[in-house]
Amino acid sequence: MPTTPEMSMDMTDMSTVGDTGLLDTLQHEVAVFARRAEQTRLGGVGQVRNSMDRAAYLLLNRLDKEGPMGVKALAASMGIDSSTVTRQVAPLVDTGLVKRTSHPEDGRAVVLQLSPRGLSRLEEVRSSRRQLMAELTHDWAPEERETFTALLTRFNVALSARQGTQGVAGPESQPAS
């Protein structure tokens, strides 16, 4: 039997009646996580700590994973609007982390691509953040790290899907290396 979003919500509400305490704890822990992540930017350790904001990291990471692309394609792949990408990319171009080039097939169109300097900087930040994740989970079993990563990815995908159904796309939740 097909369900509408309203029916799904009703089913969700019914299935969570007994989980109120757990859901209260979950929403609180997500709020604390968001605050702490924003405060530290989960920037890593050492000299690289807090050295790249979230928007820059996500844009550089996307260009590294998907290759050169236009502003519209980059915006669509990240689930944000083109004006936001344009605004966020400007300082990355100014600092030489991203290059603007002509589209190979249509010289009038602009393509954004990660510069060698941008790739080097991204790798530096990734390494620092990887080290931070290792420190934070040093006493976790490998299976716990895998489970946490899988559940966090699933949570982010669900948030993204929910935003998509409300008119705001958000496929940002792709694992970073």
User: Does the pTM of the predicted model rise above 0.75?
Assistant: no
Q: Which residue has the higher pLDDT, 164 or 71?
A: 71
Q: Are strands 98-102 and 110-114 parallel, antiparallel or unpaired?
A: antiparallel
Which amino acid would we find at residue 98?
A: V
Mean predicted lDDT score pLDDT of the chain: 81
Q: Which two tokens stand for residue 129?
A: 């953040």
**What pLDDT shows up at residue 38?**
74
**What pLDDT shows up at residue 169?**
41
φ/ψ (deg, to 5) at 48: -85, -15
Q: Which band of pLDDT confidence, cut at 50, 70 and 90, is reported for residue 16?
A: low
**What pLDDT shows up at residue 8?**
45
Residue-wise pLDDT tens digits, 73-126: 999 988 889 999 999 999 999 999 999 987 777 767 789 999 999 999 999 888
As a dihedral over the C-alpha atoms of residue 61, residue 66, residue 69, residue 75, rounded to 10 degrees, the angle is -60
For residue 114, give the H/E element and its range: strand 110-114
Q: What is the mean pLDDT of residues 12-34?
A: 80
